[in-house]
Structure formats: structure tokens, C-alpha cells
Amino acid sequence: MELHVRYEGDDDPKKCTARKLARFGLASLHRSARATPPGIVLDPYAERALSPADAPDDGAGSRGTGVHDRLVALDCSWETAEAEAFRLSGPHRALPFLVAANPVNYGTPFRLNTVEAFAGALVILGHREQAEELLSKFRWGHTFLELNEEPLRRYAAAADSAAVVAIQEEYLDAEE
């Protein structure tokens, strides 16, 4: 899948996972919503959860290089995320319960950085090898898959968004 980032540039460049992915040619950075191509927008405020039903068709009904062949992530502060996400075109999907493995938010649910968001989405959509490739660029990358192994496996086997939300509820209930 193509990976695109609506990039604000308001974080520490040395810690920015989106910039590192771009340096390796694994994602494209875009400085405006207008320049960002439409795709599945990873939006923490979306009403629907990402599920395997959002994956591109691989059979006779293949969509080619359309919206469902691209993931779009936001790399901006949490304060501006909702407004920025609103300006991006494509279906908006929230990632389900996943735990951060990055050094800044280690162990915190839903506080993923850009590479973790992409990796989680890719596994759910059936692109685990691409997720592993992205995470291999970070010392702590393998930890993300280890921490989230069970939920990612279950989300990837879910039929649709409703099933993903039902699985997520089990993890949220266990957290309380």
C-alpha cells in the first residue's frame, strides 16, 4: 500500500517517525491537505473503526491505485489533529485499541506515533510484511508487534468495523 503523511512539522525532527519513513522512501510527506492524495485516513476521531473490509479488492473487482490502496496518516499535535483530519479526503477510520511501544508513550493505549499507526493499519488490512519493514527502521519497532500481537491478529480476522469494535470492547473492559 502507498503511505502518505499530512505533515505539520511541529515535533522534534530527530524523533519524527514520519520523516524517517520518508528518508527511507517508505512514505511521502505532504505539507498541505490539498497536496495529500485521497486514501483511507487514519483519524482518531472517526466514527468507524478500520477493519479488513476496508482493504483493497484483490480479485476481479480490483480497485487499482485508488483510495483503498493508500493510507494517510496525520503527523501533527493532538491539539490540531481533529481539524486537520477533517480537511483530508477519503474514508476516515479510527484504529482500534492498540498500545504504544515508542519510547515517548510506551504502554499507553491509543497514543501511537505515525509509524505505529501505519503498522497497525497495515496488519489489520493484511499487509503484515510491509508493517514489519516499516518497524524494522526503529530500535523499538518489533516491540509494537509483540505488545499488540493478539489484538492485531483478532482485528485482522474480523469481518467488519462492528466486529473490530466488539473485540476492542473486550480489551477496554479488561483495562478498567
Average pLDDT of the chain to the nearest whole number: 89
Q: What is the pLDDT of residues 39-86, one digit of tens each?
A: 999 998 899 999 999 998 654 444 445 778 999 998 876 666 667 667
Given this model, what pLDDT does residue 95 score?
97
Q: Exposed, middle or buried by CB within 10 Å (0-12, 13-18, 19+), for 71?
A: buried
Q: Exposed, middle or buried by CB within 10 Å (0-12, 13-18, 19+), for 126?
A: middle
Model confidence, pTM: 0.91
Given this model, what pLDDT does residue 77 score?
66
Q: Is the pLDDT of residue 100 over 80?
A: yes
- Are 21 and 134 contacting, i.e. CB atoms less than 8 angstroms apart? yes
Average pLDDT over residues 81-108: 88
For residue 3, give the nearest of 22, 17, 23 by alpha carbon: 22
Given this model, what pLDDT does residue 81 score?
67
Q: At CB < 8 A and 24+ separation, what contacts does 77-85 make?
A: 77/8, 77/10, 77/11, 80/8, 80/10, 81/44, 81/45, 82/45, 84/6, 84/8, 84/33, 85/41, 85/43, 85/44, 85/45, 85/46
What percent of the chain is modeled with pLDDT above 90? 72
What percent of the chain is modeled with pLDDT above 70? 90
Q: Is the pLDDT of residue 3 over 80?
A: yes
The pLDDT confidence band at residue 28, using thresholds 50, 70 and 90, is: very high
- CA angle 87/85/58 to nearest 5° reads 100
Given this model, what pLDDT does residue 62 score?
42
